[in-house]
């Protein structure tokens, strides 16, 4: 996992020396969504602190320091990683293959789907379900919740 700073010139932004490495999941296999939650919580807690309170940075131009705040603008990831990071089912899921709308898997290639004519997902509802899932104490209860909510 890495971050780039949007205030850096675009031509320089994605150079290795301008990226901030925040974590690398250990192998030998890819972590599942639940295994990612602990390191992600640490990063999210820091981002919240940096957004709400900021940090004073001293530079030659601001020797007394300047308040800098941080905001996460977006996430760039392949589809499986995006699903794990953002709390979505995978693209092959029968009842929830899309992160944008509520289309079912067997309707993905329909005219209605291609016209973006399915109801949009609701961020408030998504967060509510994520908090309910996170509060469950066991993997078995989480699996049952996932199946109940998404029909999978």
Q: List pLDDT tens digits, range 62-71.
A: 999 999 999 9
User: Does residue 146 share a domain with residue 104?
Assistant: yes
Domain tally, the chain: 2
- Kindly report, residue by residue over 62-113, the tens digit of the pLDDT: 999 999 999 988 888 888 888 888 878 776 777 778 888 888 888 988 999 9
User: Does residue 92 share a domain with residue 66?
Assistant: no
Residue 124 pLDDT > 60, yes or no? yes
Looking at residue 21, the DSSP 8-state letter turns out to be E
Show which of 30, 54, 74 is a domain's final residue.
74
- Which region holds residue 54: left if phi is over 0, alpha if psi is between -120 and 50, else beta? left
Extract the tokens encoding 49. 């602190």
Q: Are 142 and 131 in contact (CB under 8 A)?
A: no
Determine the structural domain holding residue 44 and report its residue range. 1-74
């Amino acid at each position: 996992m890495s971050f780039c700073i949007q205030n850096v010139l675009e031509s320089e932004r994605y150079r290795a020396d301008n990226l901030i490495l925040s974590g690398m999941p250990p192998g030998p296999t890819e972590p599942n969504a639940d295994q990612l939650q602990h390191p992600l919580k640490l990063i999210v807690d820091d981002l919240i602190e940096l957004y709400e309170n900021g940090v004073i940075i001293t530079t030659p131009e601001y020797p007394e320091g300047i308040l800098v705040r941080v905001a996460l603008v977006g996430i760039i990831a392949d589809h499986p990683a995006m699903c794990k990071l953002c709390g979505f089912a995978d693209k092959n899921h029968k009842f929830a293959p899309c992160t944008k709308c509520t289309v079912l898997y067997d309707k993905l290639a329909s005219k209605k789907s291609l016209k973006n004519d399915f109801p949009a997902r609701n961020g408030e509802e998504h967060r509510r379900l994520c908090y309910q899932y996170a509060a469950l104490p066991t993997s078995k209860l989480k699996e049952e919740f996932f199946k109940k909510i998404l029909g999978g």
